[in-house]
A and B are shown apart, each in its own frame.
Chain A
């Protein structure tokens, strides 16, 4: 009966056994001996890992990381409840930080370091979350085809003269949702609706691609003005080859300087409500707000540091100073659903 057990099946079983043995079967890999902090991060691994390694080198605290979309991680935090292993929750927009706050998965912390490092308007009044870096969403234009004097405000993009000349990405994107949410906060829902209704017919093409694609489209002549985040332009300028050629053709216009200011958003972090390593969590956030980390944000990610005493990167500095919209950022989270409805109604896909 030698032929009855086919060899592949034996291999299969062997592979199964080997697999089971080789994979970590528990959530928290390191033993309880080492100091550690567990991080749920909506910021992608490669955009944060160098800082975390630096943190471990300096403090000896191991950082365990899971990255993912903010919404999914928030959902995970909520479901895991008091047994969640997470200590720190990082997002790349203030809206989600507010939602985490509202869902009760964060806890208030008091830290003089954080209060010293981070200006008040970039952190939660209750101390549940802290902004760590800032990005602006200005209007960008092609230097050859647009005179910056023609530009004034986001609202003015609905003028007839821009018909078929504007590029912007899909309204699925949270940066656009936040932009509209900020308008609802300052100007009211009707004004925001009017803006979306006026913007959509002026679009040069169906919303598609990411922010870099909008910037490239400017260079390619698909459109003349676009709305995109600053760090994308910064990273393109910092890069080499075609992307830099593209970015060099682009000018940045800071809209609404005479009224509420240019829309900005922050990435930030909070300590989770049931953090098993609370002290380490606070140390990690404090580290992320340190001058050293802030400089890294500025240089490596082309974001605006949250601290006034840390200079922006040269590339961003070249874009000029601007007045930012200083509404309370948690409002972005509150108004998010309303913003999506407005964009749905306006036909912004």
Chain B
């Protein structure tokens, strides 16, 4: 779609072109966005089928539960991921304490842990029959109901499970933001007498706010889309309600209407995020960077920072992984075979392909928006990004319907005209699956890519174009290399999400096409946790490699440091900033009136 996008001005000056209401770029964006929005729109299409009586039933019985549970879950997880993600990001970016260089990547590990897996695992550990409570009973001699122990399978439990695996979104994006903050701004705050805490609260935090909110939005959209965890814990949310209404009550129209309500939650989230970003659109005021000298923490402060960082890793990764590992050792027959290796390979390539597609599409959309920020483009891009909060099954059905309709229509046409049957061209293919991933995870790549593009001054585009590069080449030669770290982040996020993705894969996959998530879920869903552990563990391990890779890249991604001329000084704790020629920082605004020679 982009080939045509490069054509403005390809004509000789003599040819007169009519100005279209949309430029090629916004056309490309709108078409891409519409195609990606198709599943969501198909689901929305059901909204107009009347389903009044079922609604009355829902309103009288379960709707209040759906609303309150979903809201409580959103608020709880939201607060939780902020309270974990932002402070640890600040600690590892700006402070020096024992273990920091390990924590800075280890804090991302829970990202590789599917929420339903951690839920199953913790249930195994913490529920009444599990080893922890068993030990308590053995030690105290008390029985059921005679001592207090938090109920893991509850709304609160679901909240904790989700925030343990979702905080890395906030951590990841806010850490990147902290690292990218110009050293001048932070140094200024120090010269103004702001200590570490003040500098955090009054300078770094407000500057990083767009990134933090972007991470929060991603986490909350995942919360809305989650089915596995809440269903297992018996918490009725909008998502479980959609399934119950569709399948249990056999009413797709009412289910679609519930989905529409769900999407309105998302819309509010997106608006909130837009609003926050619009209020604070920061380009860097200075392009001079150096390695930030970190605050060196000692004594109890260092210990506090150490445990603050250790705890989320311990709970969100180490304990569940250990449990999975123990189970996997007990069930070697599940994974010690070539078929399992094939499964790992299959999943790996699928996730890589999906990540590249999702990031590629996000680049097209975000760049088009940058080029032509028209309202139509903006709205289209927003709608295309909504798929992230829609449960995978709903997306899958939204894809299945138009794909099968297309296949069947084409087939009917070919049969009638040529007497050949084309069969199903799209349905049940890897293409359909990749499309589903693109729809589902576009928001992830889009958020990240938009944030990255936003940090590149618009004059970069102009400079490249004035040097003879058309927009597409500018994207390729200027923006993409500059935002290499951002692109890698986006790739990783989608990659890990696809590794974990279950419901859409389950429904849309071709014959005999398995992924690790499918394997893990089928076994876990059958309450065979030990047998499922090897697949779950493999998801975690496969996800681990890029997580570590990414972390190392981000560590080096402070602008100017990624270009390869400087070593990875980020890993070197006590290093002082390099001395630089003293000059006025570029871009520091000089008040135009200050030297205005007028005699007013």
Task: Please give the residue numbers on chain A whose beta carbons come within 8 Å of chain B beta carbons, in ascending order.
Answer: 3-6, 8-9, 12, 15-16, 18-20, 22-29, 38, 44-47, 64-69, 71-73, 75-76, 79-85, 99, 169-170, 172, 177, 205-213, 216-217, 219-222, 232, 242, 246, 336-337, 340-341, 344-345, 347, 349
- Closest chain B residue to A82, Cβ basis: B408
Is B429 in contact with A340, judged by CB distance below 8 angstroms?
no
Is B424 in contact with A27, judged by CB distance below 8 angstroms?
yes
Interchain CA distance A25-B431 in the complex, whole Å: 7
Query: Given A23-B350, A66-B509, A71-B246 in contact, is the A210-B523 Cβ separation under 8 Å?
Result: no
- B156 at the binding interface (Cβ < 8 Å): no
Is A206 in contact with B506, judged by CB distance below 8 angstroms?
no
Task: Please give the residue numbers on chain B whose beta carbons come within 8 Å of chain A beta carbons, in ascending order.
Answer: 57-58, 60-62, 65, 123, 127-129, 143-145, 151, 153-154, 231-234, 236, 240, 243-244, 246-251, 349-350, 352-353, 356, 393, 396-397, 400-401, 403-405, 407-408, 411, 421, 423-424, 427-431, 476-477, 480-481, 484, 487-488, 491, 503, 506-507, 509-514, 518-519, 522-523, 525-527, 531
What are 22 A-B contacts with C-beta separation under 8 Å?
A: A8-B487, A19-B349, A19-B352, A19-B356, A29-B511, A29-B512, A65-B511, A68-B507, A69-B393, A69-B507, A72-B503, A76-B400, A83-B404, A83-B407, A83-B423, A84-B424, A172-B231, A172-B240, A209-B232, A217-B129, A336-B250, A341-B249
Is B244 in contact with A80, judged by CB distance below 8 angstroms?
no
B418 → A minimal CB distance (Å): 16
A274 → B minimal CB distance (Å): 11
Query: Given A206-B234, A208-B153 in contact, is the A16-B404 Cβ separation under 8 Å?
Result: no
- Closest chain B residue to A20, Cβ basis: B353
User: Which residue of the partner chain, among A8, A27, A28, A337, contacts B248 with CB atoms under 8 Å?
Assistant: A337
Chain A's interface: helix, strand, loop or mixed, by majority?
A: helix
A218 → B minimal CB distance (Å): 10
Query: Given A29-B512, A66-B509, A336-B250 in contact, is the A221-B143 Cβ separation under 8 Å?
Result: yes
Is B424 in contact with A67, judged by CB distance below 8 angstroms?
no
Chain A residues, Cβ within 8 Å of B424 = 27, 80, 83-85
Interchain CA distance A51-B57 in the complex, whole Å: 43
User: Which residue of the partner chain, among A20, A25, A68, contacts B429 with CB atoms under 8 Å?
Assistant: A25
Interchain CA distance A220-B151 in the complex, whole Å: 14
Interchain CA distance A220-B149 in the complex, whole Å: 14
A227 → B minimal CB distance (Å): 15
Is A25 in contact with B251, judged by CB distance below 8 angstroms?
no
Interchain CA distance A337-B244 in the complex, whole Å: 10
- Closest chain A residue to B155, Cβ basis: A206
Is B352 in contact with A337, judged by CB distance below 8 angstroms?
no
Chain A residues, Cβ within 8 Å of B143 = 221
- Closest chain A residue to B60, Cβ basis: A345
Is B401 in contact with A45, judged by CB distance below 8 angstroms?
no
Is B352 in contact with A216, judged by CB distance below 8 angstroms?
no
Query: Given A24-B513, A172-B240 in contact, is the A337-B251 Cβ separation under 8 Å?
Result: yes
B450 → A minimal CB distance (Å): 19
In the complex, given contacts A29-B510, A29-B512, A72-B507, what are 12 additional A-B residue pairs having Cβ atoms less than 8 angstroms apart?
A6-B484, A12-B356, A46-B531, A65-B511, A83-B423, A83-B424, A83-B427, A170-B231, A207-B234, A216-B128, A340-B244, A345-B61
Query: Given A45-B514, A83-B424 in contact, is the A26-B233 Cβ separation under 8 Å?
Result: no
Interchain CA distance A347-B64 in the complex, whole Å: 12
Is B233 in contact with A208, judged by CB distance below 8 angstroms?
yes
User: Which residue of the partner chain, among B480, B507, B513, contacts A73 with CB atoms under 8 Å?
Assistant: B507
Interchain CA distance A303-B57 in the complex, whole Å: 37
- Closest chain A residue to B61, Cβ basis: A344
Chain A residues, Cβ within 8 Å of B431 = 25
Is A336 in contact with B512, judged by CB distance below 8 angstroms?
no
Is B506 in contact with A67, judged by CB distance below 8 angstroms?
yes
Interchain CA distance A81-B415 in the complex, whole Å: 15
- Closest chain A residue to B396, Cβ basis: A72
Chain B residues, Cβ within 8 Å of A26 = 429, 510
Is A72 in contact with B249, judged by CB distance below 8 angstroms?
no
Interchain CA distance A221-B127 in the complex, whole Å: 13
Interchain CA distance A180-B249 in the complex, whole Å: 13
- Which 9 A-B residue pairs are closest in the complex by CB-CB distance? A64-B511, A208-B234, A79-B404, A221-B144, A27-B428, A344-B61, A340-B248, A19-B353, A208-B153
Is B234 in contact with A45, judged by CB distance below 8 angstroms?
no
Interchain CA distance A205-B129 in the complex, whole Å: 15
Is B236 in contact with A349, judged by CB distance below 8 angstroms?
yes
Is A27 in contact with B510, judged by CB distance below 8 angstroms?
yes
User: Which residue of the partner chain, among B144, B249, B509, contacts A340 with CB atoms under 8 Å?
Assistant: B249
Interchain CA distance A12-B123 in the complex, whole Å: 39
Interchain CA distance A206-B153 in the complex, whole Å: 9
A1 → B minimal CB distance (Å): 9
Is B349 in contact with A45, judged by CB distance below 8 angstroms?
no
Is A66 in contact with B510, judged by CB distance below 8 angstroms?
yes
Is B350 in contact with A344, judged by CB distance below 8 angstroms?
no
- Closest chain B residue to A344, Cβ basis: B61
Chain B residues, Cβ within 8 Å of A344 = 57-58, 61-62
Interchain CA distance A336-B404 in the complex, whole Å: 27
User: Which residue of the partner chain, among B153, B249, B405, B487, contacts A79 with CB atoms under 8 Å?
Assistant: B405
Interchain CA distance A345-B59 in the complex, whole Å: 11
Chain A residues, Cβ within 8 Å of B62 = 344, 349
Interchain CA distance A141-B135 in the complex, whole Å: 24
Chain B residues, Cβ within 8 Å of A221 = 143-145
Interchain CA distance A80-B144 in the complex, whole Å: 51
A99 → B minimal CB distance (Å): 8
A195 → B minimal CB distance (Å): 17
Is B512 in contact with A65, judged by CB distance below 8 angstroms?
yes
Chain A residues, Cβ within 8 Å of B144 = 220-222
Chain A residues, Cβ within 8 Å of B232 = 208-210
Is B249 in contact with A337, judged by CB distance below 8 angstroms?
yes
Query: Given A9-B480, A64-B512 in contact, is the A83-B507 Cβ separation under 8 Å?
Result: no
Is A24 in contact with B248, judged by CB distance below 8 angstroms?
no
- Closest chain B residue to A169, Cβ basis: B234
Chain B residues, Cβ within 8 Å of A209 = 123, 127, 153, 232, 234
- Closest chain A residue to B152, Cβ basis: A208
Is A211 in contact with B527, judged by CB distance below 8 angstroms?
yes
